[in-house]
Amino acid sequence: MRLKKIDIGGLETPNNVFLAPLAGYTNAVFREMCYNLGAGLTFTEMVSAKGLCYNSQNTRELLYITPTYGGIKAVQLFGSDPEYMRRAAASEEIAPFELIDINMGCPVPKIFGNGDGSALLQDFAKASALIKACKDSGKRVSVKFRIGLTADKLVAADFAKMCEDSGADMISVHGRTRDKIYAGEVNTEQIAAAKNAVKIPVIANGGIFTPADADQLIERTGADGVMLARGAMYSPWLFAEITSRPMPDKRALVKKQLEDTFRVYGERFAIVFMRKMAAFYTKGKPGSSALREKLFACDSMQSLEKMIDGIEF
């Protein structure tokens, strides 16, 4: 795919290959790693606007940024109350961030049931009010959304236009409906329809696991860039491949991720998190099932580091 900078309301990204916000995964260390591998933009895990307003410590911890992170600082907020979104966007905790992304695509039942995430696809007026509330902070605002709730209720073009008219500086479109969760084919026609409906940048999301997937998604949608989600979880070095950067020593990269995660979040978190990540990184390789069992048996930094030393990534 052709690499280019993306202008988000005056913020310029180094390229158009982004890391999606991923609940439980895009912590500060993982974001910095992906940025260093070539990601042009990374986002925090989704952060509850209401949680911020109620000073939730767990919520605030999601906002940590490593001192050495060199990219645009972008946070993803979720919520369905414009007043909470307005207060959160203008809060001291969000002050370090240059871009606010609003989650209008999460399909998880708990989020959907509260009227947040993809539930907003069925309430354009409320979605518009949320965008305007965040814009009141003076920050740039983007929106990540799905193409509809079900195949008979596709709204990508109309929703994209609403986002632009409400002040959004960029949109990211996941080319699946809410009921598909993360399965099934990506509907490239709907992403293309969203692209054709607006003048702001449109980022295509869904089904990118190889450089060829990124090429194909851009070709079929005309989008301005791509956003990696599960593909980045399984192979963060995919950013280097797509952006034509030198391929890193994968084992050294994973060991550094382990060490940095331990330094920032402590031993217990590092062990639990990096067992999952190492399992993702070896997914599909010969003997990966037995390897996962051994990984999840690791109960110390030393045992986990020893396991990583013996893995061919």
Query: Per-residue pLDDT tens for 97-126?
Result: 999 999 999 999 999 999 999 999 999 999
Distance CA 72, CA 42 (A): 8
Tell me what the mean pLDDT of segment 287-298 comes to. Answer: 90
Closest CA to 139 of 70, 65, 72, 50: 72
Whether 298 is catalytic is no
Give yes or no for a contact between 22 and 45, defined as CB atoms under 8 angstroms apart: yes
Task: Answer left, alpha or beta for residue 162, where phi above 0 means left and psi between -120 and 50 means alpha.
Answer: alpha
| Residue 109: how many other CB atoms lie within 10 Å | 9
Tell me what the mean pLDDT of segment 254-258 comes to. Answer: 97
Provide CB contacts within 8 A for 54, sequence distance 6+. Answer: none
Question: Residue 11 has which token pair?
Answer: 């913020």
Distance CA 55, CA 178 (A): 30
Tell me what the mean pLDDT of segment 271-278 comes to. Answer: 96
Give yes or no for a contact between 80 and 126, defined as CB atoms under 8 angstroms apart: yes
Distance CA 213, CA 175 (A): 13
Q: Examine the pLDDT at 288 and tell me if it is beyond 90.
A: no
Tell me what the mean pLDDT of segment 266-283 comes to. Answer: 96
183 or 210, which is more confident: 210
pLDDT of 51 reads 95
Distance CA 210, CA 212 (A): 5
How many residues in total does the chain contain? 313
130 or 59, which is more confident: 130
Question: Residue 224 has which token pair?
Answer: 């301005």
Q: What angle do CA 158, 160, 164 make, to 5 degrees?
A: 115
Tell me what the mean pLDDT of segment 15-29 comes to. Answer: 97
Query: Which DSSP state fits 41?
Result: B
Q: Examine the pLDDT at 43 and tell me if it is beyond 90.
A: yes
Give yes or no for a contact between 232 and 20, defined as CB atoms under 8 angstroms apart: yes
146 or 288, which is more confident: 146
Q: Examine the pLDDT at 131 and tell me if it is beyond 90.
A: yes
Q: Examine the pLDDT at 55 and tell me if it is beyond 90.
A: no
Closest CA to 122 of 141, 145, 97, 143: 145
Q: What are phi and psi of 133, to 5 degrees?
A: -65, -40
pLDDT over 70, % of the chain: 100
User: What is the pTM assigned to this prediction?
Assistant: 0.96
Q: Examine the pLDDT at 38 and tell me if it is beyond 90.
A: yes
Query: Per-residue pLDDT tens for 84-102?
Result: 999 999 999 999 999 999 9
> Which residues are 226's β-sheet partners?
17, 204
Secondary structure of residue 306 in the 3-state scheme: helix
pLDDT of 145 reads 98
pLDDT of 184 reads 86
Distance CA 109, CA 119 (A): 10
Query: Per-residue pLDDT tens for 141-198?
Result: 999 999 999 999 999 999 999 999 999 999 999 999 999 988 889 999 999 999 999 9
pLDDT of 298 reads 95
Q: What are phi and psi of 178, to 5 degrees?
A: -60, -40
pLDDT of 312 reads 86
Tell me what the mean pLDDT of segment 251-269 comes to. Answer: 97
Q: Which of 34, 53, 106, 298 is catalytic?
A: 106
pLDDT of 287 reads 82
288 burial via Cβ count (<10 Å: 0-12, 13-18, 19+): middle
Mean pLDDT of the chain: 96
92 burial via Cβ count (<10 Å: 0-12, 13-18, 19+): exposed
Q: Examine the pLDDT at 56 and tell me if it is beyond 90.
A: no
Give yes or no for a contact between 6 and 29, defined as CB atoms under 8 angstroms apart: no
